Amino acid sequence: MFNPLKGLGDLRQMQQQAQKMQQALQQEEVVIERNGVKVVLRGDQHVKEVVIDGVMENRIAEAINEGVKKTQELAAKKLIEISQQQDN
């Protein structure tokens, strides 16, 4: 017999895995240094630090993080639009 609630368990498991992945990525860092510029990013694409010629420029990191957040929101909206179109 078909169990329509089985999918909810699968969805919950996927959400838990995604949260674990997000937490793990937040612990990882990538450091790029080039031409007097150092950028430290977390694995979840959050800019942790920007240093230009030895001077920390958190304003730049904040602006980049805001831009990344806006692109993620845009991507989420588009995904919802596409999924709604497919349901129709």
pLDDT, average across residues 1-10: 61
Q: Is pLDDT at 25 greater than 80 in this prediction?
A: yes
Q: Is residue 67 part of a domain?
A: yes
Handedness of CA 54, 58, 63, 68 (dihedral sign): positive
Distance (Å, whole) CA 43 – CA 37: 19
Q: 68-80 pLDDT, tens per residue?
A: 999 999 999 998 8
Give this prediction's pTM: 0.68
Q: Is residue 12 part of a domain?
A: no
Q: Which domain holds residue 59?
A: 28-87
Please name which of 53, 51, 71 lies closest in space to residue 61, comparing C-alpha atoms: 51
Q: Is residue 70 part of a domain?
A: yes
